[in-house]
Amino acid sequence: MISCKDLARVVSSQTKVGFFKQLEIKLHVMMCVHCAKYVDHLKKIGTESRKLFRKDGPENDACVEEIKREVIKKLNEHSE
């Protein structure tokens, strides 16, 4: 069974994995409340960041760059 640490690494890297690895991840997420929350948070971050960075989003490049830095900083803090 995949460990929580390995699951976090695979899911956050957004790399394509094979069928059996996907199955292993889904089974782990079904059993582990912490990983389920982590995966849910990643999905929400992706959804909200797509809304934020689409063409009709903020025009100020400095603002966008600051938000990107903050998101990356928070993700790095929680992944350690």
> What does the pLDDT look like over 45-68, one tens digit per residue?
888 887 777 665 556 667 777 888
Contact 12, 42 (CB under 8 A): yes
Q: What is the pTM of this model?
A: 0.63
Q: Evaluate whether 39 touches 11 at the Cβ level (below 8 Å).
A: yes
pLDDT computed for residue 74 by the predictor: 83
Instruction: Kindly list the domain boundaries of the chain, sorted by start residue.
Output: 4-79
pLDDT of residue 2 exceeding 60, the answer is yes
What does the pLDDT read at residue 55? 60
Q: How confident is the model at residue 15 (pLDDT cuts 50, 70, 90)?
A: confident
Which pLDDT band holds residue 35 (cuts at 50, 70, 90)? very high
Task: Please tell me the predicted confidence (pLDDT) of residue 54.
Answer: 67
What CA–CA distance (Å, rounded) separates 7 from 59? 36
61 vs 71, which has greater pLDDT? 71
